[in-house]
């Protein structure tokens, strides 16, 4: 059922500044990672992905960094805009398995 009083980690960032969102994963067999953005009342929206043979990938205003040694993933958003306000989830998948496992989520609030 629903959990009362649950709080998402929240990052408040000034418009125009850079944002960094972090994600730790536990499955060392995971070889594919994705960042999703979810706005209130909507489904997840793909932002960027990275495979385990890479440690960095860049998109438009976004960069994903992967550190397999410490099982850590981060998403950097450059020049954060009000439209970037949302909850961000990392997700992982292991080779041969088409099921995604989602992380806990981070709320980003952009202050105009």
Partner 1 sequence: GAVVSQHPSWVICKSGTSVKIECRSLDFQATTMFWYRQFPKQSLMLMATSNEGSKATYEQGVEKDKFLINHASLTLSTLTVTSAHPEDSSFYICSATGLAGDDEDEQFFGPGTRLTVL
Q: Provide the binding-site residues for partner 1, judged by CB under 8 A.
A: 1-3, 6-8, 32, 36, 41-46, 49, 89, 98-105
DSSP lists the bridge partners of residue 11 as 108
**Nearest-approach distance from CB 93 to partner 1, in angstroms:** 8
Residue 46 CB, shortest distance to partner 1, in Å, is 7
Name which of 8, 20, 7 is nearest 84 in CA terms: 20
**What 8-state DSSP symbol labels residue 71?**
T
State in angstroms the smallest separation of the CB of 41 from partner 1. Answer: 7
Nearer to partner 1, 43 or 112 (CB): 43
């Amino acid at each position: 059922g629903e959990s009362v009083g649950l709080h998402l980690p929240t990052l408040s960032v000034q418009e125009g500044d850079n944002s960094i969102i972090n994600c730790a994963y536990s499955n060392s067999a995971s070889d594919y990672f994705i960042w999703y953005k979810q706005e209130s009342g909507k489904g997840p929206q793909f932002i960027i992905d990275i495979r385990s043979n890479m440690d960095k990938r860049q998109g438009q205003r976004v960069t994903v960094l992967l550190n397999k040694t410490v099982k850590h993933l981060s998403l950097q958003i450059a020049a954060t805009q009000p439209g970037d306000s949302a909850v961000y989830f990392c997700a992982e998948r292991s080779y041969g398995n088409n099921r995604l496992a989602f992380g806990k989520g981070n709320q980003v609030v952009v202050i105009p």
